[in-house]
Protein backbone atom coordinates (compact mmCIF):
# COMPACT_ATOMS: atom_id res chain seq x y z
CA UNK A 1 0.00 0.00 0.00
CA UNK A 2 1.17 3.49 -0.78
CA UNK A 3 1.41 5.98 2.06
CA UNK A 4 -0.96 8.39 0.31
CA UNK A 5 -3.88 5.98 0.64
CA UNK A 6 -4.60 6.96 4.25
CA UNK A 7 -5.14 10.32 5.93
CA UNK A 8 -4.15 9.88 9.57
CA UNK A 9 -3.63 12.87 11.84
CA UNK A 10 -2.28 10.95 14.85
CA UNK A 11 -0.88 7.51 14.00
CA UNK A 12 -0.35 6.34 17.59
CA UNK A 13 -3.85 7.33 18.68
CA UNK A 14 -5.38 5.73 15.59
CA UNK A 15 -3.47 2.46 16.12
CA UNK A 16 -4.53 2.45 19.77
CA UNK A 17 -8.18 2.98 18.83
CA UNK A 18 -8.13 0.21 16.21
CA UNK A 19 -6.43 -2.11 18.71
CA UNK A 20 -9.15 -1.26 21.21
CA UNK A 21 -11.75 -2.54 18.77
CA UNK A 22 -10.20 -5.98 19.05
CA UNK A 23 -10.34 -5.87 22.84
CA UNK A 24 -14.02 -4.95 22.82
CA UNK A 25 -15.18 -7.44 20.20
CA UNK A 26 -16.51 -9.72 22.93
CA UNK A 27 -19.07 -7.03 23.77
CA UNK A 28 -20.57 -7.20 20.28
CA UNK A 29 -20.49 -10.89 19.44
CA UNK A 30 -21.60 -13.82 21.51
CA UNK A 31 -24.49 -15.94 22.69
CA UNK A 32 -27.74 -14.05 22.93
CA UNK A 33 -26.71 -11.27 20.54
CA UNK A 34 -28.26 -10.80 17.13
CA UNK A 35 -25.00 -10.35 15.21
CA UNK A 36 -23.09 -12.99 13.32
CA UNK A 37 -19.30 -13.17 13.26
CA UNK A 38 -19.37 -11.95 9.69
CA UNK A 39 -21.58 -8.96 10.54
CA UNK A 40 -19.30 -7.91 13.37
CA UNK A 41 -16.19 -8.37 11.23
CA UNK A 42 -17.62 -6.30 8.38
CA UNK A 43 -18.68 -3.50 10.71
CA UNK A 44 -15.25 -3.46 12.37
CA UNK A 45 -13.61 -3.21 8.95
CA UNK A 46 -15.75 -0.16 8.24
CA UNK A 47 -14.87 1.39 11.61
CA UNK A 48 -11.13 0.91 10.99
CA UNK A 49 -11.30 2.28 7.44
CA UNK A 50 -13.08 5.39 8.69
CA UNK A 51 -10.46 5.88 11.41
CA UNK A 52 -7.69 5.97 8.82
CA UNK A 53 -9.83 7.99 6.42
CA UNK A 54 -9.18 5.42 3.69
CA UNK A 55 -9.88 6.58 0.20
CA UNK A 56 -9.55 10.31 0.87
Say which DSSP state 37 is in. Answer: H
DSSP character at residue 3: G
The parent domain of residue 34 ranges over 3-51
Assigned domain for 34 exists: yes
Rounded distance between C-alpha atoms, residue 49 and residue 31, angstroms = 27
Whether the full predicted model's pTM is greater than 0.95, yes or no, is: no
From first to last of its 56 residues, what are the pLDDT tens digits of the chain?
455 678 888 999 999 999 998 888 777 767 787 888 888 889 989 999 998 887 65
Other C-beta atoms lying within 10 Å of the C-beta of residue 48: 15
**pLDDT recorded at residue 42:** 92
Q: What is the pLDDT of residue 3?
A: 53
Q: Decide if 56 is inside a domain.
A: no
CB 18, CB 51: distance < 8 Å: yes
Is 10 contained in some domain?
A: yes
Instruction: Please say whether the dihedral angle defined by the alpha carbons of residues 7, 17, 11 and 4, taken in this order, is positive or negative.
Output: negative
Per-residue pLDDT at 1: 47
Domain count within the chain: 1
Amino acid sequence: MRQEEFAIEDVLLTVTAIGGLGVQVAQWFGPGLDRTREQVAQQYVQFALRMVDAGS
